[in-house]
A and B are shown apart, each in its own frame.
Chain A
């Protein structure tokens, strides 16, 4: 099973709302990632969790708050977002550290902030 599952697939939220994106993998991968992707652009790394600890935060605004409850789950909590935060949010996982390790991506959550 090489699947990363993201829910919901689509989300529309107001600027005062609080919502969460969820990601799950059962491949035994120990690194999990959040990416943001604008249309027809490459993905931008937001956060990396390694062995359930936050390893990388790419200077992401605090209105995005990641959480890794266990090695299979990754959440992204959203609060007071701006319209420019509308994008495809991708979760990925990889076996662990190592420059030659490929990541497996979920299908993404299409987020629209109104």
Chain B
């Protein structure tokens, strides 16, 4: 039973570029949430996708956008990258009906130079 998988594991970009990160949820989960974890900080909620729509959003600019596909997998897109976007990006999946425990992937480490 596969858990949450994320790709790529590491990525290096330069300022101003655009990046796409991918996530496949745990089997049986239909909801995907994205978090940003800067060095020395706890994860911060970016947004959550359920039924292919953004259901909730944290305090992140419009440069951060996402998508969920019919198979529940998801993408996180970041445009016009800034140095401050360097972080570990975590994907978490859960069952969308009410509250349920989240399972996290190992993350994508993004470095912006």
Q: Are these two chains actual partners, yes or no?
A: no
